A = this chain, B = another copy of it.
Amino acid sequence: MEKQISHILKRNQLSVTGSRKRILELFLANNGALAHGDIEKKTGEKFDRVTVYRTLQSFLDKGIIHSIPTADNAIRYALCKDDCSQGHHHDNHIHFLCIGCGNTICLDDVNLPAVKLPKGFRGEQMEVVVSGKCKDCE
Interface extent on A, as a size class? Answer: 35 or more
Question: Which B residues touch A120, using CB under 8 A?
Answer: 134-136, 138
Q: How often does this chain occur in the complex, in copies?
A: 2
Given known A73-B75, A75-B73, contact A123–B115 (CB-CB < 8 A): no
Question: Would you call A28 an interface residue if the criterion is a C-beta within 8 Å of the partner chain's C-beta atoms?
Answer: no
Question: Would you call A13 an interface residue if the criterion is a C-beta within 8 Å of the partner chain's C-beta atoms?
Answer: no
Q: Are A127 and B124 in contact (CB under 8 A)?
A: no
Question: Would you call A122 an interface residue if the criterion is a C-beta within 8 Å of the partner chain's C-beta atoms?
Answer: yes
Question: Which B residues touch A133, using CB under 8 A?
Answer: 121-122, 124
Nearest chain B CB to A71 CB, angstrom units: 4
Question: Would you call A37 an interface residue if the criterion is a C-beta within 8 Å of the partner chain's C-beta atoms?
Answer: no
Q: Is the interface of A mostly helix, strand, loop or mixed?
A: loop
Q: Are A107 and B118 in contact (CB under 8 A)?
A: yes
The 4 A-B pairs with the shortest beta carbon distances in the complex, nearest first, are A120-B135, A113-B113, A124-B132, A123-B132
* A and B contact pairs by CB, cutoff 8 A, 21 listed: A67-B71, A69-B73, A69-B129, A96-B121, A107-B121, A110-B117, A113-B113, A117-B132, A120-B134, A120-B135, A121-B134, A122-B132, A123-B131, A123-B132, A124-B131, A124-B133, A125-B132, A126-B129, A127-B127, A127-B129, A127-B130
